[in-house]
Amino acid sequence: MRKALVIGNWKMNGLQARNDELVRSVASGVADEAFAGVDIGLCPPSVYLQTIGLQLAGTSVALGAQNMSQHASGAYTGEVSAEMLADVGCSLVILGHSERRALFNESDEDVAAKVKAALAAQLTPVVCVGETLQQREAGEAVSVVSEQVLQALSDLDVAMLEQVVVAYEPVWAIGTGLTASPEQAQEIHAALRKVLSGLSTDAADKVRILYGGSVNAANADALFAKPDIDGGLIGGASLKAEDFIAICRAAA
C-alpha cells in the first residue's frame, strides 16, 4: 500500500547555527529501524538548501524546497527553477501552499504550471489544497479542494499523476493551533481520493494525501490512523526536533 510520508515545512525560520543542530537531531533521531515505514523530508528556506543537502547526504531524510518558479530559466529575478532545486539535491517541492496563494497571489494556473515543471525535473510535487474557514462554514470545503486538485492535476498523464503528493491543509488550521478532527480530515481526504480516481483509479490508490494544519506530537497518532491520511505536512512542530521525530514515529 502507500508508504507514509512526513514533511517538515520550516517556512522562513532558522539561521545556520540552529538549522545545523535541527538537521543533525532529526537525521540521527530517525536513523532507526522503527522509522523504516515512513519517508521523511525537510523543506528549509531555499538559501540553505545546498548546505542542508550536504548534511542530509547518506541519511534517510529527503531534501525539499518550499516553492519554485514555473519557468525553466532566464530573466526572472529572484526566482529559482526546478532544475536548480534538483541540482542541489532536492527530491521534493511544496507547491501552492496557502501562504503562497494568499500572500503572493499564486493562482491555480500557476500551481498547475509549477507541477509540470517540477515533474519534468524529476521532483516530487507536494500540491497543497485547502479551504478557508468561511468556505467551510458555507459548506464548500469539498468543492473548493476538489476544484484546486483538478486545476492542478487534470492535465497530467497517469504516469505523472502517480508521482504527485497532495497535501490537504485547511487554511483555518495552519499555524492557528486549530486542527481538523481526524473525522473532518478523513472526510476531505476520502473526497480528494474520489476526485483522483476520476482521473485514474490506479493513480488514486498510489497518490499519498498528507494532512497539514497544526499537527503535533499529541494529535498525530489519531490523524494518521485514518485510512486516507498517508502522513503529514508539518509547519511549526517541524522546528522542534523532538516533536517532529515523534510525529514521524506516529506515521511509521
Q: Least distance to ligand PEP from the beta carbon of 146, Å?
A: 20
Q: How far apart are CA 114 and CA 146, in angstroms?
A: 18
Residue 9 assigned to a binding site: yes
Residue 130 assigned to a binding site: no
Is 97 annotated as catalytic? yes
Q: What is the DSSP letter of 227?
A: T
Q: H or E stretch including 99?
A: helix 98-103
CB nearer ligand PEP, residue 203 or residue 237? 237
Q: How far apart are CA 223 and CA 181, in angstroms?
A: 8
CA distances 242 to 12, 25, 29, 65, Å, are 20, 8, 8, 22
Q: Least distance to ligand PEP from the beta carbon of 232, Å?
A: 8
Beta carbons within 8 Å of 163's beta carbon, 6+ residues apart: 119, 124, 125
Is 189 annotated as catalytic? no
Q: Least distance to ligand PEP from the beta carbon of 238, Å?
A: 7
Q: Name the catalytic one among 99, 106, 131, 169.
A: 169
Residues of this chain that bind ligand PEP (CB under 6 A)? 9, 169, 174-175, 212-215, 233-237
Q: Name the catalytic one among 97, 106, 131, 189.
A: 97
Summarize the annotated binding site for substrate as residue ranges: 9-11, 175, 214, 235-236
Summarize the annotated binding site as residue ranges: 9-11, 175, 214, 235-236
Catalytically annotated residues? 97, 169
